Structures are given as structure tokens and as C-alpha cells.
A and B are shown apart, each in its own frame.
Chain A
Amino acid sequence: MNLKDISTSVPRKDHKGKVSGQLPYISDVKVENMVYGVLFRSPIAYGKIKSIQLPDLPEGYEAVGAEHIPGPNYVKIIKEDQPIFANEWVNYIGEPILMLVGENLDVLYRLLDEVKIEFEEHQAIYTLEEAIKQKSAPGVNMANYEFGESLDTITSIELKAHQIIEEEYDTGYQEHVYLEPQGMLAIYKEDEIVVQGSMQCLYYIKNALVNALDCGDDDVRVVQSPTGGGFGGKEEFPSMMACHVAVAAKAVKKSVMLVFDRSEDMVVTTKRHPAKLKYRTAIDREGNILSMCIEIFLDGGANVGLSSVVLQRALLNSAGVYKIPHFHAKGYVLKTNTVPNGAFRGFGAPQSFAGIESHIGHLSKLANNDPLEYKRKYLVKQGDPTITKGNFRDPILMEDMIEVLLKSSNYKKKKQKYHQLNQQNQRYKKGIGTSLFLHGCGFTGSGERDHIKAKVKLAKSKDDQVSLKISNSDMGQGILTTLSKIVAKELDLPLENVLYPYPDTKEVPDSGPTVASRTTMIVGKLLERAAKKLKAQWQTGVEQEVTEDYVHREMIPWNEKTFTGDAYPAYSWGVNIVEVEVDTLTGNIKLEKVFANYEVGKVIDDRVMKGQIDGGLAQGLAYGYLEKMTSKEGKIQQKSITDYGPPTSLDVVSIQSKVFDNPYADGPYGAKGAGELTLIGGAPAVQAAIEDALQIPFQQIPITPEVIIESLYVREGEQG
């Protein structure tokens, strides 16, 4: 492939199949001897199962439950607290108890209604507020960390401070709304079970299956199907479904398909953790920050899953992009009897950035300073320590990125103009707001070296085609194209001679999960090195294979116990500016303009990157004002896309973006992570813009029309 610059776009490899609608997703698949599975789910939030009474099952219909699991009854993730089929206690509404399998879905749904289970109900914890009150009760605190400067030092600073500012900030649920709901198929064969489905992490699933089936490495195989969006929702959740179908296939000796429809998917799958963030900041007479203490509470839902790791990222990002003198943070994951929360693009960072950007914005008012100017005073620079005594060792381009964006958006002029316009227009108020953010690329600390140990393989055929043998999923983010492109360019092959078949654990080594903005940077780099190696030994017309193993960058070693060291090998950066118009009669918010500058090392494909920018920002902006999910007595209230309200093309405006080059030595062609970064700045920028328009501070996202109307009218009414 002869591209002068790797960033130049090429047609995506999956473009035709997806645009023509020809590509079969898992729910389109039918195999011989296949039956469907449907799950009986707990109707109560917390209690003990006393008895299970099944209806008379017609021939060919069977029930599968905990007693059919050959191995231990838990989904292997981190802790052993998530049953495959709950058989003693149920911990949330929707928790799977058993599965009915058979040929006809209509019959299965009818039988499902006839299953009778008696429970002994116990008092559930429904909200994060309740969980915080009961934090010290057994089982409620599922994980916690604390780090930073000693509290004694901070107390002595606070004693001398001019003022102590305390704020509480709440963030809501976010639902992934991947285009394709979750689906998994277990193909039954005498000597192996093949599990296929929509997924991000093949080896997570494989490990969970080996554990659940208590079988050998060769007895299960995991194959990714075309995946219509993941956003983290297909990181750990599919492991549970894979266990369901594999256990059932083994029990009934047939292939078993489990696919959710949208409403089931919305009600029972993982969400972004709702969070409460508490800030306590000492300031001097001029409004300068003297010290800051942060407490973060994450609603883990009914089991811990990946929540402890999400909390780590939330804490690691709790100071945003700022160098805060005398910083201290602690955080908790608390259990509630609600649907478990899990991985979601950003992984704890969006909550922290929304909170810190809001808090710093409010502090800037006290200092009588423009929020952006105030933020820039504290912006970290190359060589600065991180809040965990690590180091920002690479160049940071944020000042340039801000300057360029200030010019292209005409920020200062607009801000003045809008304040004048708002005096004249009683109904519509315009505002402009900014956000500054970063994203730590890859796994936290030494996770890549100690846990993931990624390996990649390139296999060359006799006709000189080269196949990527890696366990990473294209879920729409474009790695099918970008990773192939890296290899094609390195080997100087036409792109069509580089193949990237849907990965199958029988064929591919474990190159790690497709998460944490690690794929391009880590796996891409390994592929680049593998391609170089293959090029050096290239023999035309001969089958060849090369492998590469992960090499760790020298850093300050990460210590999870003390929470010190370099938390990430590299950081990507961003600046957003958002303009809104608020209808003060209805509280509706109209996005008017969105500007975004990013630095991701080096872009591997401009159009793929633009896809990440537009999609990530739409999702991030919506997190701040549009998407609203609530739980009432343990039940998710929004069961349809319409009621939940993710943005449509009529809600998002065209996004003016620019990406800066800042090549990173340990990424392919200098590339770092990009997938999560683009989401993070959306919500805080939209909040800042709304606050600018209405001149009212908010302490929560999403800032829905309901929230706006309440602060504009109801509070005013109460005072009057």
C-alpha cells in the first residue's frame, strides 16, 4: 500500500457488507439442530429463592438452571459474586434464575409465564443515596481506594484558608444503545462447544466458559460475529450470556441461541455507573486553589463485576487535566439491588471529568475569572507529576489546541455577544462553554505487562496474503481497516492482500480485550513490529508465520495498594467548545455549534477518526443533557430507545474538529488511544454552555429540561 501519510483515508473493509445490509449478525444466523433460549428473571430486587415450580414442559422443551452447570456457579470476571443462574439469593430485578429452551419462541414465552417461584423477600437497597447511608453495613462496600496528600496537611491548609468550598455533584445512568442488541449462540458438537456472538473480549468469554464448563482449553471455542456496536456494553456482559448458552447446549445436546430484544436489553444489561462526587476545596482571597479533597461514590449495582477497575479510573481522573496543590481523593463502589453497572466508553472517567470541570467552573466564578482562563492557570505541563506521583513525560499540546480553538470558535467575542442578546430575548438564551480533558490510554499501571501479556501473530499464505491473527473485535470502531492498514503499509502490500477474518480463539493468540483505548496503540504497535519482522524474512510463495509479544515501556512502577506511580503509559488530550440555545419556557436545549480539538499521537485513518469524534461527542454531549435513565424500586423505567432518548441526526449539529499530531514512540506510527477520549469532554462542555446561557450553576448531569424548569420556575416560586 502506497500512502504517503498513514492518516489518508481508505474505504473501510467492512463498508460494503454493512451499507448493503448483507452482513449477517448473530440474530440472522441459523444452524442445524438449533433451539432458542429464554431466561426466567427475578421479579424481586432482593430475596431468597424458596421453591421453583416448572410448568409441564412439552416434548423438546427443557429447563436449564444452576444444577446443569458443570463447574462453579459464577461468571468468571474478577470476583466470584455473579451467579450464572441464581439459585439461592437474587440480588436484582432481572437476574437470571433459569433458562427454558425449545424450538418455538412463542411456546417458550407462554411457558415462561407459567414458571412459579416462591421467594422470601428481604429489604433491598434501591439507590446510591441509601447505599451511602448504609456504607458500613456488611456487603455494601464492594471496593474502595484512598490516596494523595495526608489529611493532616490538608486540614492545616484549610484552617488558614480564606474559604472552604463544598459541592456535591451527581451523574446519572447511561445506556450504551449499541445498534445491535446482545446475542449469543452456542453450537453443540460432540467434542467442543463453539460460542459465537456479539462481543468485545474473546478471551474473557473463553476463560469464563472454561471455568463454567469445568473443561479443557480445547473443549470450547469463541468466535466473534459481526458486532453492531459495543461501547463497553459488550466487554464483560457477554460472558454471562455465553455461559448461559454453553451450559444449556451441553445440557440439552443442541445448539442454543439467546438474543435479547431491545426492551430486555435495556432493562437487564449493564449501564454506566451513576455516581456522587463530593468536592471540598480551600481557596485564598483571590480564589486560588490551596487544596482539594474529593470523595467518589459509584453505584455498583448488584455485583461488583468490573466496578473496582472503573472506580480506579474515576479516581485517577479525579483532578482532570489540572495540577492541584495538595490533593487527596478516596472512592467507593457501593452495592445496590439494581441491575449491575459495568464498562462503558470512558470507564469512570466521564463521571470524574463532568464533576471536576463543573467544580472548577464554579470556582472560577468565585475568582471572578473566565472559566477557561481560570482552568488554564492549573493546566498540567510536560514534566509535571500526576496525582499519583507519576509523570507527564511526553509533550503536551493543550495550550496550542486551546489557542487554535479559541480562534476558530471566536469564543471571546461570542461570549460577549450572547450575554447582550440574552438581555433582549426573554425566551431563548444562548451560551458557550468549554471542557478540557485527557484520557489515559490502555490498562491502568502494569496491567498490560502483568495481566494481559498480549501476543499477536501474522500468517502469510503461499499466495502472499497476510492474515492478522489477533483476538480483537471490530465493533464498528474501524480496526478491521486501521490495523490492516498498518500491516499493509509496513509490508508494502495492497490493502486487499491483508486479511482480518473474524477472530476465533482456536486460530488466534490472546492479544487482549478490545477495551480501554488500547487496541490501536498496543495491538497496533505489536502488529507493526510483527510486520517489520515478517518483512525482514519475507519469502515469496512460502507460508510463513511471525509472532510478537508485548514489551513494557519503562515507567514509574504502578503500585495499586498505595495508588502511586505511572497510572498509564500515555495520555491523549482534548478541548471542546459547545454553543447552546436554551428555551426558557420548556427547558429544551438546542445544540448550535460544537468545536473539538484532539491530540491522539497520530491518526491512522482520518475518516475512521472522524467517526470516533462525531460518535463519541454525540454520546458524550447527550450524557450531559439528553439521555435520561432512571430506576424506580429496582426497575429500569425506560425500556425503549424513544423513552431513553439518545440523540438523532436532528439533535446533533455538524462537529468542527481538528486532530493534532504528537507522535508517541510506543504506538504504531505514533498513534495513541482515541475511542474513549472523544466522549469525555461532551457533557462538561454542554453543562458549561447551559450555565453560561442561564447564569445558573448546576450540580448534576444530565441537565434535562425537567432540571432546568425546576431551577428556573419552581425554586423561584418557592422564594416568592
Chain B
Amino acid sequence: MAEKIIAYRFDCLDQTLSQLNKENCAIIAGGTDVMVMYKSRRGVPPKIPKPIVFIDHLSELKKVYQNQKDLHIGACCTYSELLGNPLIPIVLKKAIKTIAAPAIRNRGTLGGNVCNASPAGDTLPLLYVYNAKLLLRSVKGDRIVPISDFIQGVRRIQRESNEILVEIILPSVLDDGAHVIFEKVGNRNADAIAKVGFAGYIRLNGDGIEDVRFAFGAVGPTMIRSVAIEKMLLGRTVPLTDSDIAQVVAAFDKIIKPIDDQRSTALYRKTVALNLLRYFLSMKQYQPT
């Protein structure tokens, strides 16, 4: 009584896209999220309600290259591949190293982390402060969407069923002289789901702040970022005054609304998110990373 499963594994991206144009499919890159999402109880295979398309082998989706100062990362690059790539910023590698354990990092992909749109996605806080743009492709052509528009809620994304995420683009990330940090707070050092994630980005001109960005993970349905709050700091000089810091922290205090769950408490998440922010803002100096 084995059930029939339809699965496609095409040789190239074009064939894959044309199939997707005909039929709504479940896309599997590494499978590290899909297989968990549809997992059955012991002894029964996962039940994926749609035909499956495998894309993990498509070379069109595995390129990493520089275009001017922008970094283009193929959506199907596995975490392990990115760790071995010299173009990938060190701080992004640091975030990747906090993901699960080697076996998962050998399968899981950056595109998967984006499209899974988990509130606790480990690379998402950084992708948000990098102003990442997503290149989506269908038989009808390409479109580019900012990550903050693409991810709309818990596991809700703005992908049409005939589209595939091809590249994650990090604009001006190469040599822009920014100081970028990432912190993941989990219950242990491997195989942990984030209780709080934080990314901070700051670019100075002399002592003056030219650009500053913050993103928080696991404290809301999606990453929390506020351009309005960031603007409050533009033109200020570092080290920041206590009242500037307090003002920014108070502003985030109003918009960060985490929940209690089996992993942590709302109170903890909020306190720690604001602690990490305050710590980042209180640094005496910032070095380009």
C-alpha cells in the first residue's frame, strides 16, 4: 500500500521553472525544513501534499560572485559551501556556524533559510541589516524584491508558485567599511533554535554616523527592524551619549513584543534583545569588519 509520490529532478533551471509554471509544487533544496514540517509519527514517511521539485543540484543556483560592490549568493549554496567561500563576509560565516550542526549545514541552504521565513531563522537578522535583495525567477522573467517585503509573516513569503529564489544579493557589502555584528542566543551551542537573534550595522564617516541598522530575530513573527528609529541616530557622533542610547532602546522597547513558549519567556527575550542593542550602541569605537 505504498503511496504514489510525484517528484521532479530536472537537469537545469529552465525545465524546473517551466514545470513550476504548470503545477504548484513543494520545492526541496536541502530538505532540512520541508522534511521536518511534513514529518509523520514514527514508521510513516513524511506526507508532502504537493508534487516535489528538487533543486539542490542546479548549478544555476549555486553561484557566488561579485558584481561591483554587490555580493550575489546562489540560493542553493549550502551553509558548508558558504563557509568555504572567501567572498562571504566573516560575520555571516559566524552566523552560519551557529546553525544546527555539520550534517544540517551540509544540506541546508541560504535560500531555504529565507524561504522558510521562520521567526528564528539564523541568517535573517544579518540579511535584514544588509538590506538584502532577492532575485526571483519564473518563466515570465526576473524580479527583485527587498527581503523585508518578501517575508511577510511566520512562514509567509511573497513567492508566486511559479517562481524560484535564484540569488540573495547583498548590496554594497564588499568594502563598504561598516562594522557589523551578529549575536545568537540559544539554549546550547549547537542544534539550538534561537531564543533571540541580533544584528547591528554601523558605518561611520570620521566620528559621525553615516548609516546604522538593527534587526532582531525570534522576538516577533518576523525580523524586527525600524528605519524610523535608525534615522534618529544619523549624523550623531560616537561614542553615543547615554540619552541617545536610552532613546533608541526605549523606542525598540515599544515595538519588540515577544512571546512565552517552550524555549524561553517573553520577558527574557525582550530584556536580552535590548541588552544586546544597548551593548552595541555603547561601544567606544567601531572597526570596519
**Which residues of A come within 8 Å of B, CB atoms?**
36, 104-106, 109, 259-261, 264, 427, 585-588, 626, 628, 630, 637-639, 641-643, 645-651, 704-706, 709-710, 713-714
Contacts and interface: CB of A to CB of B under 8 A. Distances in A.
Contacts of A588: 185
B192 A106 contact: no
B44 A637 contact: no
A626 B187 contact: yes
A650 B43 CA distance: 31
B263 A643 contact: yes
Contacts, number: 84
B267 A109 contact: no
A714 B267 contact: yes
- Which among A586, A588, A651 has the highest number of chain B CB atoms within 10 Å? A586
A105 B267 contact: no
A651 B189 contact: yes
B5 interface: no
- Which among A585, A588, A643 has the highest number of chain B CB atoms within 10 Å? A585
A104 B41 CA distance: 12
A105 B42 CA distance: 8
A105 B264 CA distance: 34
Contacts of A585: 272, 275-276, 279
Contact of B193 (A261, A628, A637, A642): A642
B98 to A, nearest CB: 10
B188 A651 contact: yes
> For chain B, what secondary structure do more than half of its interface residues adopt (helix, strand, loop), or is it mixed?
loop
Contacts of B195: 705
Interface residues of B, number: 29
Contacts of A710: 267-268
B101 A648 contact: yes
Nearest to B98: A650
- Which among B189, B192, B267 has the highest number of chain A CB atoms within 10 Å? B189
Contacts of B262: 630, 637-639, 643
A648 B268 contact: no
B228 interface: no
A650 B190 contact: yes
Given A260-B42, A626-B187, A650-B189, 11 more contacts: A36-B43, A105-B42, A109-B41, A109-B44, A642-B191, A643-B187, A643-B193, A645-B188, A651-B190, A706-B268, A714-B267
Interface in B245-287: 262-265, 267-268, 271-272, 275-276, 279
B44 A106 contact: yes
A176 to B, nearest CB: 17
Given A586-B275, A648-B190, A651-B189, A705 B1 contact: no
Q: Which 4 A-B pairs have the closest CB atoms?
A: A261-B42, A650-B189, A645-B187, A637-B262
A706 B189 CA distance: 16
Interface string B83-121: 000000000000000000100000000000000000000
A630 B267 CA distance: 17
A647 B186 CA distance: 12
A713 B268 CA distance: 10
B17 interface: no
A649 B102 CA distance: 12
Contact of A259 (B42, B188, B267): B42
